[in-house]
Structure 1
Amino acid sequence: MKRFLLIFFSTISMVWAEKPNPAQHLQPSVFAVTMVMIHDVVNPPAAARFYSYCLLGAQEFVSRNDSKIPSPTRLARDFKKPDLSSVQSYDYALAATYCILETGRLILPSGYMLEEDQKKLVEKWLAEGQPQPTIDAAIDAAQVMAKHVLAYALTDRYNQLSTRLRYRPVKGEGYWYPTPPGYIEAIEPHWKTIRPFMMDSCSQFAPKRPVTFSRDSSSNFYKLAYEVYQKGKTLNTDHRFIASYWDCNPFAINTSGHMMIGFKKISPGGHWMNITSIATTQAKLSFNRSVFVLALTAMTLHDAFISCWDEKYRSNRIRPETYIQQQIDKTWQPLLQTPPFPEYTSGHSVISTAVSEVLTYLLGDRFAFTDTTEVIFDLPTRSFQSFRQAAEEAAISRLYGGIHYRDAIEQGQEQGKAIGLFVIAKVKKAGVKSF
């Protein structure tokens, strides 16, 4: 009898050990969304918006099955609980994973590309032994949830952006206008009108006013510009690599004679979404917690971009490239291509600091990790001792790249930290403690 029980429990243990881990399909699903956005050359603020909606339904599925994970209704403004009464019993982890791809399919410009990823996901589930009826029920639930999320997304004023007057650069000294080589029009000048998920308003975390513009060589503004100029002329190998590593410019253009060649890259938010995926996998978080961390990262990015873009088009400050060529050295070129929007504050500084604060709260202030995000762009991996260290490097990389003044970086970090602490207070109130 004892021998029988031993064999029985050993067999059960083997079955439990072999049970598929739903989290193994989470990171690839988020990355599939990333790849479509790279294909579509989605701009940084819009990318954060798409990530948020793609993960919103997944978080709702998880919260319905785990009391420790708050529903998006407790964090996202105006989000209402979807009615899933029409759906039969379903596996919530399968539904949550499929919902990421289904929402992306519906909301992204080239969302149809995710149909192949959905097909492959179903094939993997079948290979793992998931019954077809279980898969079908999960897909049905995911489709209902995705439609609910899409209806919610349609109320955030995104579709009204195209109806607004075309943006024209402000005339006068000290203001931004398009830069070479593409002279691309201003990106998302009305982004402040988009509904935030957690912030009260776009201006809730408005930074200090930027240093006043001046052409006087003894002025503080001239000194800021001269620092960028000097740094650009004395960059060492490490600084060049750091600038390139955090470039994350979806608008990159290379010129060859009269020909312009565009290079598709990951967005700044996409880089941090991948870091979050790496961290949740390394920390061996449960599927439920991983979904929540990813969803919260996305919403933090979204709100941080709204806050940053509100300031960019309020101060409308001239880029270093323009000022330095006018006032210091007409032959000077920044290491990185100047992005097509005003300078103050630094977007990298705002969003990186905000997300690093949230991840630090959830996963710890000494969470060492190796970032593999840029490998697909032929850059090596890079290791960090903490999220804050990575955010610090992302911020200063913009000075090395010659595209931001120091005050835009430092005030951007202050702005981002305030947003991050605000998000942390929200999740604390919702009952979420560090993992």
Structure 2
Amino acid sequence: MKIKYIFLVPFLMFAGNAPAQINKMGLEQQIKPAVFSLSMVMMHDVVNPPAASRYFAYCMMGAYTIVAQNDTSLRPLESVVRSWPKDFKLNQNRISYDPQIAAVYCILETGRQMLPSGYMLKEKEDSLVAFLKKKKVAKAIIEQSVSVAQDVAGQVVKYSATDHYNKLSALLRYTPLKGDGFWYPTPPAYIEAVEPNWKTVRPMIIDSCDQFKPMAPVVFSKDTASGFYLLNKEVYDAAVNAKPEQQEIAAFWDCNPFAISTSGHMSLGFKKISPGAHWMNIISIAAEKAGVGFNRHITLLTVGALTAMDAFISCWDEKYRSNRIRPETYINRYIDANWQPLLQTPPFPEYPSGHSVVSAACAEVLTYCLGDNFSFTDNTEIMFELKPRTFASFRQAAAEAAISRLYGGIHYRDAIENGVAEGKALAGYIISKLQSAGVR
């Protein structure tokens, strides 16, 4: 069968993307669209969730370094990031640069240098420079700010090359294990395993990939009286009897970078943002609502990105250790051959739920930084014609993201609940490091 792929990439200008007046508060409005631009390029490149978290982390680290060098209230990265070089310094000969301009430009420049289609960010950089000129910012300030950003981005990219990511392609390709209880590629495209060796990537804050191993998953069984069969029956029933709001929740937190819909001989490829991109946007929504200011906005995004990267490393370590079968495969084999989940099953093992680990971790860190009961409206998915959702707290949002995987038919309850516990444990460790370093 000949398959044609049609890639549908939606476009949206978020509220707040319009340029602001050049002043210390106005430049904060440039942070969110800069990060959003990274998300759009990653969506274009179909960057998988773990890799996306890595790109966000490095793109924010350079920006944070710039503002921290000019704000004595901010702690240097080496106080939190285990491997960050202590001799990482800005060229202080550039005495006329604006650190806020440099930080925003550095987000774009780091992405331009690191992302496969990073060249697409050159237009955003040029637009930022044109905007600054229109606002009568002195040419010397613009040029020196850009120079600082380029220098820092180059150092960040050099540092990123030491985290073992570039060695992944040289490792053995993954071969699905033989056995009834193990993961196997799922329809409709039967895509091969995503990042089976991600555990070898160097963590940012946590000590090792297996520092926060979750509880062992429920043991595989075909017995209709077994706990594992009952887990599958719950997923089956949840999808069959899904209420409209549950379907909306599943769709809202889908965040599958590449889903395929088939119709006859035609296959349509739909690109979406990653879970990390969704949480990065939530951070900016919260930062803007709280009016935290430029430097704290950068800090929140940096801490969130570092947390998400470590959460993915921890989660992926367990995924390929337990290597558990997906509900779609089990249900089609032993319950209903015609059953399909509401969401397309992602191409990697089931346990634990990545959304549960990452969302819980990010929510806990944001709660530490901005407080509990911080209400906000999340409009991240309106680009996919999904209505905004309002939450009373970050934890409520994370809990909904976690249970959405059951509604979507792609995760078991123990993968969700134990994934949340893993994310909270990981976040607790990160928060302790932030507290020790004096980072809020």
* Structure 1 unaligned residues grouped into runs of 5+: 1-15
Hey, what does 2:69 align to over in structure 1? 64
Q: Give the letter for the 1:398 counterpart.
A: R
Hey, what does 1:9 align to over in structure 2? none
Runs of 4+ in 1 over 3 A off after TM superposition: 16-20
Q: Give the number of the structure whose alpha-carbon radius of gyration is greater.
A: 1
**Secondary structure of residue in 1 paired with 2:124:** helix
2:438 paired with 1:431: yes
- Answer yes or no: is the 8 Å Cα contact 1:354–1:416 preserved in 2: yes
Give me the CA root mean square deviation.
1.3
- Answer yes or no: is the 8 Å Cα contact 1:356–1:387 preserved in 2: yes
TM-score (norm 2): 0.93
- Answer yes or no: is the 8 Å Cα contact 2:22–2:135 preserved in 1: no
Hey, what does 2:43 align to over in structure 1? 38
Hey, what does 1:103 align to over in structure 2? 110
- State how many pairs are aligned: 418
Q: Give the letter for the 1:83 counterpart.
A: K
Deviation at 1:432, TM superposition (A): 2.1
Hey, what does 1:228 align to over in structure 2? 235
1:321 to 303, 328, 349: 328
TM-score (norm 1): 0.94
2:274 paired with 1:267: yes
2:394 paired with 1:387: yes
- Answer yes or no: is the 8 Å Cα contact 1:225–1:320 preserved in 2: yes
Deviation at 1:74, TM superposition (A): 1.4
1:120-140 CA-to-partner distances (Å, cap 9, x unmatched) read 111111222211110000011
- Answer yes or no: is the 8 Å Cα contact 2:326–2:411 preserved in 1: yes
Hey, what does 1:88 align to over in structure 2? 94
Deviation at 1:244, TM superposition (A): 0.5
Hey, what does 1:298 align to over in structure 2? 305
Q: Distance in 2 between matches of 1:416 and 1:187?
A: 20
- Answer yes or no: is the 8 Å Cα contact 1:29–1:100 preserved in 2: yes
1:133-171 CA-to-partner distances (Å, cap 9, x unmatched) read 100000111111001000100000000000001100011
Q: Distance in 2 between matches of 1:17 and 1:132?
A: 14
1:5-42 CA-to-partner distances (Å, cap 9, x unmatched) read xxxxxxxxxxx997662211111111111110011110
- Answer yes or no: is the 8 Å Cα contact 2:205–2:310 preserved in 1: yes
**Secondary structure of residue in 1 paired with 2:262:** strand
The structure-2 alpha-carbon separation of the partners of 1:56 and 1:33, relative to structure 1 and needing over 3 Å to count, comes to same
Hey, what does 1:73 align to over in structure 2? 78
Hey, what does 2:426 align to over in structure 1? 419
Deviation at 1:86, TM superposition (A): 6.5
Hey, what does 1:353 align to over in structure 2? 360
**Secondary structure of residue in 2 paired with 1:170:** coil
**Secondary structure of residue in 1 paired with 2:103:** helix
* Structure 2 unaligned residues grouped into runs of 5+: 1-20
The structure-2 alpha-carbon separation of the partners of 1:136 and 1:204, relative to structure 1 and needing over 3 Å to count, comes to same
Identity rate of aligned residues, in percent?
56
2:148 paired with 1:146: no
Hey, what does 2:28 align to over in structure 1? 23
2:424 paired with 1:398: no
1:134 to 136, 141, 164: 141
Q: Give the letter for the 2:346 counterpart.
A: P
1:258-314 CA-to-partner distances (Å, cap 9, x unmatched) read 221100101011000000011111110111100000000000000000000000000
1:278 to 277, 285, 293: 285
The structure-2 alpha-carbon separation of the partners of 1:363 and 1:43, relative to structure 1 and needing over 3 Å to count, comes to same
Q: Distance in 1 between matches of 2:28 and 2:175?
A: 46
Q: Give the letter for the 2:90 counterpart.
A: L
Counterparts in 2 of 1:76-225, with a 5 A limit? 76-80=81-85, 81-85=87-91, 87-89=93-95, 90-225=97-232
Hey, what does 2:18 align to over in structure 1? none
Q: Give the letter for the 1:42 counterpart.
A: V
1:306-344 CA-to-partner distances (Å, cap 9, x unmatched) read 000000000000000000111111111111100000000
**Secondary structure of residue in 2 paired with 1:252:** strand
Q: Distance in 2 between matches of 1:30 and 1:395?
A: 24
